[in-house]
Amino acid sequence: MKLFFHKLTHWEYWPFLIVYIPIYFLWSYYAIKAKSIFFFNASNPTIKNGGFMMESKKEIYDIIPQQYYPTTILITEGTPTTEVQTLIEKNQIQFPLIAKPDIGLRGGGVKKIESVSDLNEYATKANFDYLVQNFIPYGEEVGIFYVRYPHEKLGRITGIVSKEFLIIKGDGKSTMEELIKQNPRYELQLKVLKQEYGAQLQEVIPLNEKVNLVPYGNHARGAKFVDGSHWITPQLTQAINEMCLQIPGFYFGRLDIMYNKMAELQEGKNFAVVELNGAASEPTHIYDPKHSIFFAWKELARHITYMYEISVANHKKGAPYLSHKEGMKEYRLHLEQSKKIANF
């Protein structure tokens, strides 16, 4: 009951379909103007479906200059674990590493792999193509929303979200599970954490020792999102433009970035791209608990307007919209993939 009321009084936990009710009307308006429900396809012409659904993460990595992201390889479904190990060694990927679906959804199926046995378990269970990549060593993460109209030489940052991981601190007497239950945000993840950690949750954490339960900043996996838009500066915008202008056909989306220190990120130093998300990107700074649902609706409307206007501009230059038939086919594939990830 405590968790129920926590979710009820914090809109960030409300179902996606509820939060987006006003946005559906705006989307319908733009669809009518564009004469296509699937106008988003033209927002990022070099990314499948503009990055709205069924886009391959590996194909997106391939258009990003190599120096900006960790070594990443694609493993096709059913590849024998011995072959996976060989590919990892050949590409000099070290443990711990990250494994995640090539076509993913809201952090589902993402896992930190500590050992060969963990890798074998993941490879055996995965009923989808997945990526294996080097673990990024930086300790901080932000999501930076980037927008550039096709006629513009430079883009802009429209929002930044910082991410607080699920980190528990030992008191020398409480078990991991007891520490998790002290925070409603953490307790909401307990079912998934039990599957991942098992009996380890009954271990007592030494005094002041910290354990990062989910080492990646995903809201669905319990990370707290904090609005960091005050970090937007001309210097940071220049650093992000320097990278994004090297990514062909990228105009709209969110870059999830791991970094060492904000001062270094502002200078374009010591950071790595975790993922580049296209047309389906949310301005995730809206999920800061301090923001109201009305603030969220305003920001969502602002960003969907950017996407519509960019799509129309690219369409006039020859970038196609998806036909209704093809769009519905892709949507059905998206639902099938979502079920796979949800059941993983």
Q: What is the pLDDT of residues 105-116, one digit of tens each?
A: 877 888 999 999
Mean pLDDT, to the nearest integer, of 165-193? 86
Instruction: Give me the torsion for CA of 204, 208, 209, 213, rounded to 10°.
Output: 80
pLDDT at 148: 98
Bridge partners of residue 214, in order along the sequence: 166
pLDDT at 340: 87
Sheet architecture: strand order including 97-101? 72-75, 130-134, 97-101, 111-113
DSSP-based three-state secondary structure for 136: coil
**158 contacts 145 by C-beta, under 8 angstroms:** yes
* 229 closest CA partner among 279, 288, 275: 288
**34 contacts 322 by C-beta, under 8 angstroms:** no
**42 contacts 321 by C-beta, under 8 angstroms:** yes
Residue 146, token pair as written in the block: 């980037």
* Average pLDDT of the chain to the nearest whole number: 92
Instruction: Using pLDDT thresholds of 50, 70 and 90, give the confidence band for residue 319.
Output: very high
Least confident of 83-92, 162-171, 214-223, 325-334: 214-223
* 247 closest CA partner among 316, 320, 161, 155: 155
- Higher-pLDDT residue of 217, 332: 332
Q: Which helix (H) or strand (E) holds 85?
A: helix 81-90
Mean pLDDT, to the nearest integer, of 148-158? 97
Q: Is it true that the peptide bond before 22 is cis, omega within 30 degrees of 0? A: no
Residue 186, token pair as written in the block: 């953490």
- Higher-pLDDT residue of 4, 99: 99
Residue 218 has pLDDT above 80, yes or no: no
Residue 217 has pLDDT above 70, yes or no: no
**285 contacts 159 by C-beta, under 8 angstroms:** yes
pLDDT at 212: 84
Residue 10 has pLDDT above 80, yes or no: no
Instruction: Using pLDDT thresholds of 50, 70 and 90, give the confidence band for residue 14.
Output: confident
Residue 250 has pLDDT above 80, yes or no: yes
Residue 227: phi and psi, rounded to 5, are: -65, 115
Mean pLDDT, to the nearest integer, of 113-125? 93
DSSP-based three-state secondary structure for 6: helix
0.75 surpassed by pTM: yes
Residue range 261-308, pLDDT digits in tens: 999 999 999 999 999 999 999 999 999 989 999 999 999 999 999 999
Amino acid (one-letter) located at 298: K
